[in-house]
Structure 1
Amino acid sequence: MFANAIKKYDQLAVDYREQISRPMGEQEFRTYSEIMFSCHSCGIEGSSFSVDDTRALFEEGLGYHPVGKSLLECQEMAEHFAAYEWLHANLSHPFDVELLKTVNRLVTLHTLPYKVPGAVPGAFTTVDMAAGDTVFGEHKTLIAQVPRLMESTSRAMQAKEIHPMIIAARFHGFYEYLHPFRDGNGRTGRLLSNYILLNFGLPELIICKEDRGEYIDALRAKRTEGTDEYLINFFFKAAFKQMEDALEQKRKGSRTFLFF
């Protein structure tokens, strides 16, 4: 069903690696990716940080306080940096519940206790959850399925019979359906989807905050129609946009100028 998308993605991934990530060098590309991914992933959850704000906070730490931004936004972004960096340093960690809980703990370490006094970062929710207009299922029933999701995703990664983008999208859809934590489910899910892609040597997926509506609709279809086709198509579409935009910027920025 996704043969054409897979073919296009695989070629773009090669071009992206050869023209964008490799020429930048590992550290420069890592910094670029961390800033872009963190800005947009937090933006999907409501952060008003621009890419420039995100870069300034990354470079200056919590000594930087952007005008018009709350301390909570600054802390959330700093925690996302910490989770991102831990994940990159632990790509050999088994894809299991411990990995999931660790990433969520880092994403919500100081902000969750502020938002929900008594809630424990990295611990599964003890109450039923809702987000926007979505009411999730009975939390104990959903949480009981988390280990099986992690195990089945790990087996799919090891079997290498399904394209990594499809594994990442399917995991993401099921994970967000289960919604097992009190806060940080979206950020945690997007980080874990990128863990999958990184383990296959593929570019991280950056879902732009401007595409939030389409992204939420694709996630909602998992609940309302019982299909992940929309989300898989969205993942491919977002990846195409991300890589094509970067390649086009590189092409335009490399042209020869006539200065006078």
Structure 2
Amino acid sequence: MEEIQQALNLKAQLDALRPIDKEQEARIMQKFRLDWNYHSNHLEGNSLTYSETKALLLFGVTAQGKPLKDTLEITGHNEAINWVLEMTQGERPLTENFIRELHSLLLKDSYKDSKNATGKIVPRKITSGKYKSTPNHVETVTGEIFYFASPEETPSKMYDLLNWYKEKTKDKEVNPLLVAAEFHYKFIRIHPFDDGNGRTARILMNFILMQFGFPPVIIKTEDKANYFAALQLADAGNIEPFINYIAINLNRSLEIMIAGANGEDIEEDEISNKIKELELKIKDLKSKNN
């Protein structure tokens, strides 16, 4: 596929620019971290805006009128990212204990959830760092139940997944993009935890990519429909569109990192974007009042 080859070509361009100036690399990684925290959580329903996420993580300013749970999700996710970034420097292997520890950082403490997988209101306890204790199958738009691994199957399936990964990465000619994307999908098909599976899958995918010198993939919240559509095609037996989708998003991250390494401005004009949003809101209000 063209996108996969493009990723390898862009990675070669990035490697030619290394080592990157430390301050510039810190700026690049800060942008990735902020984007990653906002988009990955917003995909799962977090209500904090990008500006509120940035204010929280850079300045410790909490958003007024937003649920405490949403703030804790962002700070927990940021802590998990920072931990993973440290682990990539130390070359820590990917194991089940690694995944449980990551999940514990992500979800922090145990908490009560009011919905089960089918959307019914039922109190249940979710414990971070432990595999699921109840089924978390989902109901599709057609009314069918899509089955993940059962709680009883989960330990053996996770054991098999990590063995698969270990064998795959023994090959010196391994393509990290293919392995990272497939790991993401296989993890999601197991859905090993009661909550946080999507966020954990994306962090683990990026951990694999970063271990091989790639930047993290940022799946944007406005592209949510395409992301889930690619996953659903994989569920139907066609994983190629999902791998292609991950490659497209990886290429965007590579282009950002190359631009940053070359000293180019990689920051979006947030103030101008906010002004445009306000202008649109004012126009909507005027049209409603007329």
TM-score by length of 2: 0.76
Alignment match, 2:238: 227
The residue that corresponds to 1:66 in the other structure is: 63
Is the aligned partner of 1:197 residue 2:209? yes
1:6 aligns with 2:7: no
Alignment correspondent of 2:168: 156
- Contact persistence 2:4–2:244 (CA under 8 A): no
1:129 counterpart = 2:136: yes
SS of residue in 1 equivalent to 2:164: helix
Q: Verify: 1:97 aligned to 2:96, yes or no.
A: yes
- Superposed CA deviations along residues 114-135 of structure 1, whole A, max 9, x for unmatched, are 4365331010001110346344
- The code of the aligned residue for 1:93 comes to R
1:82 and 2:79 aligned: yes
- How much does 1:228 deviate? 1.7
8 A Cα contact 2:132 2:193, kept in partner: yes
Which residue is 2:180 aligned to?
A: 168
Tell me how far 1:55 sits from its aligned partner.
Answer: 1.4
Tell me the distance in 1 between the aligned counterparts of 2:93 and 2:218.
23
Pairwise CA distance, 1:167:
0.5
| Change beyond 3 A, Cα 1:66–1:131 | farther
Q: CA deviation at 1:16?
A: 5.3
What is aligned with 1:44? 43
The whole-number CA distance in structure 1 between the counterparts of 2:35 and 2:17 is 18
What corresponds to 2:275 in structure 1? Answer: none
Contact 2:218 2:249 in 1 (8 A): yes
Q: CA–CA distance in 2 between the matches of 1:52 and 1:20?
A: 31
* CA pair 118-191 structure 1, distance change in 2 beyond 3 A: same
The structure-2 alpha-carbon separation of the partners of 1:48 and 1:131, relative to structure 1 and needing over 3 Å to count, comes to: farther
Residue 206 (structure 1) aligned with residue 218 (structure 2)? yes
Contact 1:87–1:195, Cα closer than 8 Å, also in 2: yes
1:20 and 1:207, CA in 2 relative to 1: closer, same or farther beyond 3 A?
farther
SS in 2 for 1:159: coil
Q: 1:258 maps to which residue?
A: none
Would you say the 8 A contact 1:20–1:247 is kept in 2? no
Aligned AA (1:106): L
**Amino acid of the structure 1 residue aligned with 2:102:** V
Q: Which amino acid aligns with 1:7?
A: Q
CA distance 1:90–1:132, change in 2 (3 Å): farther
Secondary structure class of the residue paired with 2:58: helix
- Is the contact made by 2:217 and 2:250 (CA closer than 8 Å) also made in structure 1? yes
When Rg is computed on C-alpha atoms for both structures, the one with the higher figure is 2
Which 5+ residue runs of structure 2 have no aligned equivalent? 114-122, 141-145, 267-290
Q: 5+ residue gaps in structure 1?
A: 255-260
| TM-score, scaled to structure 1 | 0.84
**Cα contact 1:80–1:106 (8 A) shared by 2:** yes
Aligned counterparts of 1:246 and 1:22: Cα–Cα separation in 2: 10
Deviation at 1:253, TM superposition (A): 4.9
Q: Distance in 1 between matches of 2:92 and 2:174?
A: 21
Counterparts of 1:206 and 1:50 in 2: how far apart (Å)?
16
Rounded to whole Å, the distance in 1 between the matches of 2:85 and 2:264 is: 31
